[in-house]
Amino acid sequence: MGFMDRQSLARRNVSKIRFGNRQASMNSKSKPVFSGIFASLFAIILPAIPYAAAQGTGTSVKPVGQVASNNSSSVSSPTPVRRAVSMSPRAIEHYQLIWGVENLDVKAVESGQMIRFSYTVLDPVKAAILNDKKVNPSLIDEQARVRLEIPTMEKVGQLRQSSTPEVGKSYWMVFSNKGGIVKPGDRVSVIIGRFKADGLYVR
């Protein structure tokens, strides 16, 4: 190999080394660029995945604060309940000793179109007037300013039990309450001849 050939070969090797260095330099510079591009793409694509999934299933994505506010508004406050006040021990003793009855109860029935009065007999002699069919009972609601009476049905007669009272048995009578004037929660009085029960709570 002559001197010229050696010199030409040396120049080719130098050119290859320089080209390799340039390629390495370009690769080293391009890596951060490509890594930055991929990072930006992931930052854009990843948050959109849950939203796209939610749109595909028909559900909506709401902020936590909004969900909490919706839940709090959906909880309705409890409706106040009117509770019956039990009869005083003195009143219970009065009806037991004077009229021979206990468990006096007034209840709205038939969708409020009738008011039923019931009681339990302790002494048949004292309680006889409550079952006397010759006496017409009445129910008075002073607040509603109404007086109810027992309706008389054709072939049946008055809607009440008028048989001879017996110890331990319960009896009832029904008052017409057309229009539902007397309502549950009202205080009423039941009058049957000389018998009168005041302040009875309507259930």
Summarised one tens digit per residue, pLDDT across range 129-181 is: 999 999 999 999 999 999 999 998 888 888 999 999 999 999 999 999 999 99
Residues 32 and 121 in one domain: no
Identity of residue 161:
Q
Mark whether 113 and 56 lie in a shared domain: no
Question: What is residue 157's predicted lDDT score, i.e. its pLDDT?
Answer: 84
Average pLDDT, the chain: 75
Q: What is the pLDDT of residues 69-106, one digit of tens each?
A: 344 334 444 444 444 456 889 999 999 999 999 999 99
Total domains in the chain come to: 2
Q: Which of residues 39, 74, 109 is at a domain's end?
A: 74
Same domain, 64 and 94: no
More confident residue, 2 or 90: 90
**Residue at 51 is within a domain:** yes
- Global confidence as pTM: 0.58
- The domain in which residue 38 lies consists of 3-74
Q: Are residues 97 and 193 in the same domain?
A: yes
Phi then psi dihedrals of residue 25, to 5 deg: -65, -40
Task: Assess contact for 129 and 151: CB atoms under 8 A.
Answer: no
pLDDT value of position 158: 86
pLDDT tens for 107-137 read 999 999 999 999 999 999 999 999 999 999 9
- Give the H/E segment covering residue 140: strand 138-141
What residues form DSSP beta bridges with 153?
157
Q: Which of 114, 100, 92, 95 is nearest to 203 (CA)?
A: 114
**The domain spanning residue 114 has which CATH number?**
2.60.40
Residue 38 sits in the same domain as residue 12: yes
Residues 95 and 195 in one domain: yes
- Tell me, yes or no, whether 80 lies in a domain: no
Distance of alpha carbon 177 from the chain centroid: 30
Same domain, 93 and 136: yes
Examine residue 83 and state whether it is found in any structural domain, yes or no. Answer: no
Answer yes or no: do 52 and 103 share one domain.
no
Q: Do 169 and 141 share a structural domain?
A: yes
In a domain, 81, yes or no: no
3-state secondary structure of 36: helix
| Same structural domain, 57 and 112 | no
Distance CA 194, CA 102 (A): 17
Q: Supply 66's token pair.
A: 């909004």
**Residue 194 sits in the same domain as residue 99:** yes
Residue at which a domain ends, from 74, 107, 128: 74
Chain Cα centroid distance, residue 73? 14
Q: Which residue has the tokens 């694509």?
A: 45
Name which residue leads in pLDDT, 40 or 192.
192
Give the residue from 28, 51, 74 where a domain finishes.
74
Distance between CA atoms of 45 and 138, rounded to whole angstroms?
81
Do residue 142 and residue 111 come from a single domain? yes
